[in-house]
Structure 1
Amino acid sequence: MVRPKNKANKNLPAYLRYEVNTRTYRLTLINGKRKSIGKNKDQAIQIAIEYNRIARPTTGLMVDDLIKHSGEIKVEQLSFAQHVDQLLELIITEESPSKQLRDTMMNDANRVKEFFNDIATQDITLKHVHDYLNCYHGNSSANVHNRKLSFLQKLFNYAIDQSLMLENPAKRKMKKRNKAEKQRQRLSVDAYQAIHAAAPPWLQIAMELALQSAQGRLETSRIKYRINKPKEGQCGCQWWPEPIDGIYGTLFIHRQKVEDKEASHVAIPIGQVLKEIIERSRDGVVCPYVVHRVPDRNNEQSSLTDHRFQVDPNYLSRSFSDVRDELGLFDHLEMEQRPTFHEIRALAARKFFDMGIDPQARLAHTDSQSTKLYVENHLEWTEVPHAEIKLAN
């Protein structure tokens, strides 16, 4: 008599077992060894089915055989959803996006698969593009709407390259004008100082770093106390053994412009003001990042950070806006018109310009007069002149 399966192993593929003690799924390989394949049930089942299909072709019916007996499926008969994973893999291979952008594209790809699940690739029209955007992003800002449209355009472009489509219907969809962005009020020195005074110490450090470096929330949150050498995807300080003419080292910023895929590398001299900001941030908390805080609760770590105490850039923006609204400085404005943390960058640009210093290089914009600094890993860095912003009390 065959021993019945344990309740935990019912409905599992052949040779796959769930171990209650370790809460993991283990698959018996054809050599007799048992291999752990994780704790996720759905993923374990998929792996087991595919392994059995290839390594044990006599176990059950093979999908390939079913397809063969049902007649060949033509590419044009497949829904667009069935091509999305392959197209996304090509995009990631070709463009090497950052982890943040890759995660965003994967989320967007899931929406695309859901919407185009029963729509043949060759049948997609401008109406489908319009309906997709209304379905998932109908109430989104113009900025978000345009980014999601750009992702569709990218997917369809890769589909055309793979001979899956003849034209790109998303290219005929007009982008929205970003009216709210043009209406957003600038951050004045008085407002900056009021928010700074009411902010917690870690947010004060972030605001001061953003002002002196003219960087946004993402770069500000990524600045490390010390790096061995400048490299891609990293922001941090290199310190000299001894100060030279009031300069203590260099703050290297790798700013990635996600939308147009341009990447800029900025080298900022660390003078007395920047040095004091960084030194003041040291509060006994062990963290490699200048902008840090101990979380109030034991929440899951953000995917945008690689240290428990590093501040998530989204949390940085929200905290700034919360202090701004608690003070009631801009209650007369609609929410989308109130200055955000990003406006510190614009304030810095204005202050540097008033000092007679071209702010373009610090903003990671093209500046033909800036100095090019080449480091040992052959990345090109734009070295900006030393300058410090001092706000009147």
Structure 2
Amino acid sequence: MTPRKRSHKNKGLEPNLYTYGANNKYYRYRHPRTGKYFPMGSDRAKAQTAARLLNSRLAEHNFLVERVVDDHRTNLAFLIERFKEEYLPLRNLKARSRDNTLYRLGRVERDIGGRALDELTVQFVADYLDLNFKGDSYRQHRSILVQLCRFAITKGLMDNNPAEVTLNKQVQKKRRRLTLKQYHAIYTHAEPWLRNAMDLSLITLQRAGDVCKLKFEDIHDGKMFVIQEKTEKHGESAYLAITLNPLLNTIIDRAKQSGIHSPHLVHRESLSRTNQTKRNQHHTAVRRDFLSRAFTKTRDKTSLFKSIDPSERPTFHEIRSLGGYLYEQQGFEKSYIRKLMGHTSEKMTNVYLDGHENRWTECNADLPIQLLKVKPDE
């Protein structure tokens, strides 16, 4: 078998030796037979020496020969490594999506990485998913298994996709819509930086991640320039130049007068600068996940949600839906709302607008009354 091409970050390393961790600072050795990884520390020279000795020792015990002869029993850990090196870089995923994908791959590898590929039957995959995951987690891990098996087929390692045949459970979102009354109640308990984030999302209809990315330098020539992170691939719909108005100017002035020196519109004084620096962010930046958690905590300070199951309570994302609904109530066309949201279809915009109230279908009942008159017998 021809050795597979190494990725750029692993070039120059001994076979079966890989880098990992922040900035690829650490090394680990992958057992060529079992696919199990062993940490080798951060000293490159020592890791290289250890890898050479291990490769030599394992070759003496014919593990590499067995792997060639018994290639049809290549395990899932081996497939996952190839998937990460050969396929994942081609997807051009955003950092957050890539991290989530790596997390799920890691979970699968820990759970069933030693399982031979020819042992991945429909029943085995179905049982694994049913016993270990529920709800959205089930759907996401099923998806990653489907992708792995598809990749294996393209490499001649599998003949079919057992994961694709398993039940694709549709997750029904239970989250309730946010009302204007609830928005105001949460707003009264919110810190100034969170109020700015809430108002920006409500007025501009931007996602939490896009609100967090906004900088003062993005505001010039009377406009606020936004590049929506979820829709960049759709071209013009992702690049917005929102004309400033008195309400937006008020929010911007409020942010400037916070007393905190920051390049971001939504900012706060961080208790620790270390974590933000590691993420290549300014220490005053607010991460998307932190914003979501802060909104949730503030929401639950009110008395409006005590009788609602936590899984059904509105999240920060519902502010965007509320804003779209308020625009519609004020007579703005759906095309106007769709442009702000960055949607490419009215169908997606309707998903955000529906659910705030019962939508009555206007119709007539004009059956001619004369048809109901009884005619005398002829």
TM-score, with length taken from structure 2 = 0.72
- Distance across 1 between alignment mates of 2:72 and 2:162: 16
- Distance across 2 between alignment mates of 1:118 and 1:210: 46
- The 3-state SS of whatever aligns with 2:343 is coil
| Matched letter for residue 136 of structure 2 | N
- The one of 338, 341, 353 aligned to 2:328: 353
1:239 aligns with 220
Q: Kindly indicate whether the alpha-carbon contact (under 8 Å) linking 1:214 and 1:362 is maintained by their aligned counterparts in 2.
A: yes
1:177 aligns with 170
Q: Would the alpha carbon gap of residues 117 and 100 (structure 1) be closer, same or farther in structure 2, given more than 3 Å must change?
A: same
- The 3-state SS of whatever aligns with 1:250 is strand
1:313 aligns with 288
1:199 aligns with 190
1:217 aligns with 208
Residue segments in structure 2 that go unaligned for 5+ positions in a row: 1-23, 29-38, 347-378
Residue segments in structure 1 that go unaligned for 5+ positions in a row: 1-36, 227-236, 241-247, 369-393
Q: Kindly indicate whether the alpha-carbon contact (under 8 Å) linking 2:200 and 2:251 is maintained by their aligned counterparts in 1.
A: yes
1:106 aligns with 102
2:229 aligns with 255
| Matched letter for residue 157 of structure 1 | R
Q: Kindly indicate whether the alpha-carbon contact (under 8 Å) linking 1:79 and 1:116 is maintained by their aligned counterparts in 2.
A: no
- Distance across 1 between alignment mates of 2:197 and 2:302: 19
Q: Kindly indicate whether the alpha-carbon contact (under 8 Å) linking 1:207 and 1:344 is maintained by their aligned counterparts in 2.
A: yes
2:150 aligns with 157
- The one of 74, 78, 93 aligned to 1:78: 74
| Matched letter for residue 110 of structure 2 | E
- The 3-state SS of whatever aligns with 1:310 is coil
- The one of 42, 51, 75 aligned to 2:48: 51
CA shift, 1:284, in A, is 2.9
- The 3-state SS of whatever aligns with 2:128 is helix
Q: Kindly indicate whether the alpha-carbon contact (under 8 Å) linking 1:217 and 1:313 is maintained by their aligned counterparts in 2.
A: yes
- Distance across 2 between alignment mates of 1:165 and 1:317: 41
- The one of 362, 377, 389 aligned to 2:340: 362
Q: Would the alpha carbon gap of residues 340 and 39 (structure 1) be closer, same or farther in structure 2, given more than 3 Å must change?
A: closer
CA RMSD, aligned part only?
3.1
Q: Kindly indicate whether the alpha-carbon contact (under 8 Å) linking 1:281 and 1:291 is maintained by their aligned counterparts in 2.
A: yes
- Distance across 2 between alignment mates of 1:214 and 1:60: 56
Q: Kindly indicate whether the alpha-carbon contact (under 8 Å) linking 1:253 and 1:266 is maintained by their aligned counterparts in 2.
A: yes
Q: Kindly indicate whether the alpha-carbon contact (under 8 Å) linking 2:276 and 2:285 is maintained by their aligned counterparts in 1.
A: no
1:122 aligns with 118
Q: Cα deviation per residue 1:82-120 (whole Å; 9 max; x = unaligned)?
A: 221111222322111111111111121111212223311
Q: Equivalences for 1:19-30 in 2 at 5 Å?
A: none
| Matched letter for residue 311 of structure 1 | V
Q: Would the alpha carbon gap of residues 300 and 69 (structure 1) be closer, same or farther in structure 2, given more than 3 Å must change?
A: closer
Q: Kindly indicate whether the alpha-carbon contact (under 8 Å) linking 1:210 and 1:344 is maintained by their aligned counterparts in 2.
A: yes
Q: Would the alpha carbon gap of residues 351 and 221 (structure 1) be closer, same or farther in structure 2, given more than 3 Å must change?
A: same
- Distance across 2 between alignment mates of 1:60 and 1:120: 22
| Matched letter for residue 61 of structure 1 | S
1:95 aligns with 91
Q: Cα deviation per residue 1:226-256 (whole Å; 9 max; x = unaligned)?
A: 1xxxxxxxxxx2401xxxxxxx123223231
- Distance across 1 between alignment mates of 2:64 and 2:148: 32
- The 3-state SS of whatever aligns with 2:186 is helix
2:128 aligns with 132
- Distance across 2 between alignment mates of 1:59 and 1:75: 21
1:273 aligns with 247
2:314 aligns with 339
Worse-superposed segment, 333-342 or 348-357: 348-357
CA shift, 1:133, in A, is 2.4
CA shift, 1:349, in A, is 1.0
Greater share of strand residues, 1 or 2? 1
Q: Would the alpha carbon gap of residues 262 and 172 (structure 1) be closer, same or farther in structure 2, given more than 3 Å must change?
A: farther
CA shift, 1:338, in A, is 1.2
- Distance across 1 between alignment mates of 2:171 and 2:277: 29
Q: Answer yes or no: is 1:326 the counterpart of 2:301.
A: yes
Q: Would the alpha carbon gap of residues 290 and 59 (structure 1) be closer, same or farther in structure 2, given more than 3 Å must change?
A: closer
CA shift, 1:136, in A, is 4.1
Matched length: 306
Q: Would the alpha carbon gap of residues 298 and 49 (structure 1) be closer, same or farther in structure 2, given more than 3 Å must change?
A: closer
Q: Answer yes or no: is 1:61 the counterpart of 2:56.
A: yes
Q: Kindly indicate whether the alpha-carbon contact (under 8 Å) linking 1:218 and 1:313 is maintained by their aligned counterparts in 2.
A: yes
- The 3-state SS of whatever aligns with 1:361 is helix
TM-score, with length taken from structure 1 = 0.69
- Distance across 2 between alignment mates of 1:193 and 1:39: 49
